[in-house]
Amino acid sequence: MKLTNEVTDRDRVELKSVFNIIILLLLFFTFQPTALTAEHEEHDEQPEHKEVKEGHEHEEHEEHEEHEEHAEDDQEGHDDEEGLQFSASELQEFDIILSKAQSGTIKKTLDLTGEVIVAPELVYHVVPRVSGIVRQVFKHLGDHVKAGDLLLTLSSRDLAEAKAEFVAADSLLKLANANLKRERDLYRNKVTAKRAYLAAKQAQAEISVKRKAAEQGLLAIGLTEEAILSVLRNTDKDLTLYKLHAPAEGAIIEKHATQGEALKNDARSFTIADLSQVWVNLTVYQKDLPLIYQGQQVFINTRFGSDRQETTLGQITWFSPVLDEKTRSAIARVIIKNPNGHWRPGLFVSAKVAIEKKPSEIVIPLSALQTIEGQTTVFVQHEDGDFEPVAVQTGQRDFQQVEILRGLNQGQTYVSKNAFSLKAQMQKGSFGHGHSH
């Protein structure tokens, strides 16, 4: 019985030891996978951490580049804000004129209409001085001729008769001179009576007058003294040939002569007009008569709703003292130069006549105004020489000047002529760092 109990106790100890070992094994296998898993996850997280680090470095690089671009943009913006620069030689090259802003007057104007006409004293009606048949025509409608240019030639029987009469008178005069010399010698030698000498002297005088008249007739026809001498020397083989020359320089505005046509000595074969100077006749109605007087300044242009126009300045040189019975209007005449022929007779024009003056604090020429981004602008020069476009507010204007209400001060330097050159170059972007060629 005692032995049995000892065995039982020993078995219990062994069982307890086995049980503890089992528990330890269970605990070991329970916590070992968790450690491995944690170690594996830690190993997997290392590349991810590397990617995050690389992404952070990439973002920092992009931010750096963006900052540099921002700095460049700021620098470019700063450069764009610099004024336009022009050297003295470039101002001269572009014919840019600078002026000081100052006070002036704005003219109130009256609108009139009119017409360009040929100056009557500069119109030449060319007629042949003898009748004849047209041989050849050398000039035609619209041609520009100079004084002395050959217009046409005629075959004229009247000219031949005039030449023959002159030649006969010259021959008779030579005979009369010889007879007078002979009678004078005989009278001095008391061979003949004084009566015969006086008769010879009278005959010589009469024939001399006839010869003079014949010569003057040829000159009146248009022959030169050289041509008359050629007739006497018998070097003029064609007595019927008549040459019609232009009396003055100008344009042929009418022509009435063709080859083979018979022309009389009162036929107007050509009309020549000197168009280097023309008249503009402005119509002035009754209500406007008190406002118009001789010497007023007039701005004339050809634009009637068209973008292309011709303009000029002139003065009223004559104002008609009577009215037209039908229109009840008067004529105000303006004489204008026409070197390029743009002011063609028959052209209708509009005109602005200065009738009143209004003083203004700041007045500049219209040529100084430019439109930039929808704003009326003037280019102003600063003390450092740079130019800047400045928006201005305009007031009243006339055909030459405009009143400035805001944006320009007294004494400021601005571009008064060819401001468009600055605008054009600025829009091309040629002034980023100063203008250059």
Q: Which of 271-280, 304-313, 319-328, 363-372 has the lowest mean pLDDT?
A: 304-313
- Residue 27: pLDDT band by 50, 70, 90 thresholds? low
Tell me whether residue 363 is in a domain: no
The answer to whether the beta carbons of residues 180 and 201 sit under 8 Å apart is yes
Do residue 146 and residue 263 come from a single domain? yes
d(CA 280, CA 4): 159
Q: Of 311, 332, 358, which one is at a domain's C-terminal end?
A: 358
Tell me whether residue 364 is in a domain: no
The answer on pLDDT for 73 being more than 50 is: no
Do residue 294 and residue 321 come from a single domain? yes
How many C-beta atoms surround the C-beta of residue 289 within 10 A? 14
Do residue 293 and residue 432 come from a single domain? no
Q: Which helix (H) or strand (E) holds 113?
A: strand 102-118
- Largest alpha-carbon pair distance within the chain? 233
Q: Of 358, 380, 405, which one is at a domain's C-terminal end?
A: 358
- Residue 91: pLDDT band by 50, 70, 90 thresholds? confident
- List the beta strands (DSSP E) in 322-428: 329-337, 348-365, 370-372, 375-381, 387-391, 393-397, 401-406, 413-417
Do residue 136 and residue 256 come from a single domain? yes
Q: Of 324, 358, 392, which one is at a domain's C-terminal end?
A: 358
Do residue 137 and residue 253 come from a single domain? yes
Do residue 210 and residue 285 come from a single domain? no
Residue 408 structural domain:
84-101+369-437
d(CA 415, CA 432): 20
Domain count, the chain: 5
Do residue 127 and residue 266 come from a single domain? yes
Do residue 1 and residue 69 come from a single domain? yes
- pLDDT value for 429: 64
What is the CATH number for 301? 2.40.30.170
Tell me whether residue 227 is in a domain: yes
Q: What is the pTM of this model?
A: 0.62
* pLDDT (tens digit per residue) in 342-372: 899 999 999 999 988 889 899 999 989 999 8
In order of 39, 50, 202, the CA distances from 209 in angstroms are 151, 134, 11
Do residue 390 and residue 322 come from a single domain? no
d(CA 402, CA 376): 12
- Residue 175: pLDDT band by 50, 70, 90 thresholds? very high
Polymer length in residues for the chain: 437
Do residue 256 and residue 314 come from a single domain? no
- pLDDT value for 233: 86
